[in-house]
Structure 1
């Protein structure tokens, strides 16, 4: 694995006062960086590592695989970043299309926010500009959990480069967050919380696993939520009019055992997107990407094969 550097990491409370995501202190940064590097060491070797300037900051992107097909761009969930896709990358790369894994701007990782983001349009802007800097005229965007929210927002606000959107149990996208998800989100970031309780809260997300810290992804998310403070406001669900305005094909995979929202309500509202394939996977938890990596790769490949060529640039 090539050396992993953190360009201009934001550290300290002064960034929070400017509404910019930052690590809480130097110790928090070093703790997260160690877990990040360990987790990246368990991924396939990236074919390319780039940091590109986009609206609102610098974005770290890793490319896995080659090929001439329209690439797939991965957006991780809250408190996470590229290593979240450890189990998914082998199957997704096997399709023969390039896969770009992104460390979200304003989230823990190697990206570095430089200006406040206050709206859904701001989130869409940095993704669109990132795609431009990568010289990708067209891309499929796949987001998991809260990563599904910016994937949908770029299709609403900056759709020119977007060939399709895939969401894996997207949070705050089709249905309101459940009380359990709110408890996890608030409780897991409290400074000084005992690690056992923090792991129990994170276990709720992933279908009740006994100890999230047994998995490198769990340790990464735990560190991201504890050691990093997000600076942008909580996402607002897309309005019905915004959902109806989406003009690209969408695949929405909803976890039947998700704690993020009511799965039936999420599935029903997803169908307001005019070209949306909605599937509820009854036994999946909110950690659907880690539970069903092979099945997701197969489903994504089949879906993308059906996206009209005129949408793919």
Structure 2
């Protein structure tokens, strides 16, 4: 079994915290475990059964609790499927498919097949945004629309923050909290529960260490689906200017660059909903 936690006791604490958050899901939901080639994958399903499908893919060090502030609005009009990525601190299997291969797309094939979905819109953030782009590139017939917030794979992944994070982690929980705030671009004095939850996760969780593969220009040119990319101009993890520049070159792209915002791109419920409805502004 892949080791993704510092201790099993810590893993159990995180799981219980996550289950408590799922119990507070703001709309009626169904919990499903989908068998895949990477192991069971947890999905929290909400919204009208006959509504268009939207797959939600969270970021590294998190799980589907990331969508607690969005899902009530989105599931009013869409059938939302919040998927716990494998190898992350959710309820899915601990396996980590190689990112520089077809394995992530094959895993998502299994998820969609298990949910009996031929196609869906996909919304992803950070690592989830990378997964969304990778899947749309490899499976264009299965992705209707794509939203990626601060995604990997477009702009250069920066590591200048790493030495400070290593030093801060030596200071215990306070240092972990400060390191998460620094990398996410969140003011720890004014932050909400997102910072506390993420810091608790990274206190016990061992994230992936490899860089996310960059998508080639040739691969990106083949993205014919409508795409919305949202970045924070002060992103410490990815070169957001390069992300925005490469995203703007996509055939059908809406690009939003948020001034003063870091890697944690929050509060985008309404513009994403508008885009999912089909009214996002696209170049002619």
Structure 1, residues 240-288: CA drift from partner, whole Å, max 9, x if none?
1111122321110111232222322211011232222111122433222
1:230 Cα deviation (Å)? 4.4
Q: State yes or no: 1:243 paired with 2:220.
A: yes
Alignment-derived partner of residue 24 in structure 1: 6
Alignment-derived partner of residue 233 in structure 2: 256
The 8 Å contact of residues 168 and 175 in structure 2, kept in 1 or not, is answered as no
C-alpha distance in 1, partners of 2:168/2:85? 18
Could you say what secondary structure the match of 1:179 adopts? coil
Deviates more, 1:39-48 or 1:124-133: 39-48
Could you say what secondary structure the match of 1:54 adopts? coil
C-alpha distance in 2, partners of 1:175/1:220? 27
The 8 Å contact of residues 124 and 132 in structure 2, kept in 1 or not, is answered as yes
The 8 Å contact of residues 59 and 105 in structure 1, kept in 2 or not, is answered as yes
Select the residue among 114, 123, 127 that pairs with 2:104. Answer: 123
User: Counterparts in 2 of 1:1-313, with a 5 A limit?
Assistant: 15=1, 20=2, 22-94=4-76, 96-114=77-95, 116-117=97-98, 119-170=100-151, 172-183=152-163, 187=166, 193-210=171-188, 215-230=192-207, 233-289=210-266, 292=267, 296-306=268-278
Pair 1:183–1:257, CA change in 2 (3 A): same
TM-score between the two structures when normalised by the length of structure 2: 0.87
Q: Which runs of 5+ in 2 are unaligned?
A: none
Pair 1:187–1:120, CA change in 2 (3 A): farther
The 8 Å contact of residues 56 and 117 in structure 1, kept in 2 or not, is answered as no
Deviates more, 1:215-224 or 1:121-130: 215-224
The 8 Å contact of residues 39 and 92 in structure 2, kept in 1 or not, is answered as yes
The 8 Å contact of residues 240 and 272 in structure 1, kept in 2 or not, is answered as no
Could you say what secondary structure the match of 1:22 adopts? coil
RCO higher in structure (CA 8 A, sep ≥6): 1
TM-score between the two structures when normalised by the length of structure 1: 0.80
C-alpha distance in 2, partners of 1:187/1:272? 36
Deviates more, 1:264-273 or 1:296-305: 296-305
1:236 Cα deviation (Å)? 0.9
The 8 Å contact of residues 205 and 259 in structure 1, kept in 2 or not, is answered as yes
1:188 Cα deviation (Å)? 9.0
1:180 Cα deviation (Å)? 4.4
1:222 Cα deviation (Å)? 2.3
Pair 1:205–1:90, CA change in 2 (3 A): farther
Number of aligned residue pairs: 280
1:39 Cα deviation (Å)? 2.6
What do you get for the CA RMSD once the two structures are aligned? 2.6
Structure 1, residues 18-59: CA drift from partner, whole Å, max 9, x if none?
xx3533322121221232123323322442100001121210
1:238 Cα deviation (Å)? 1.0
1:60 Cα deviation (Å)? 0.1
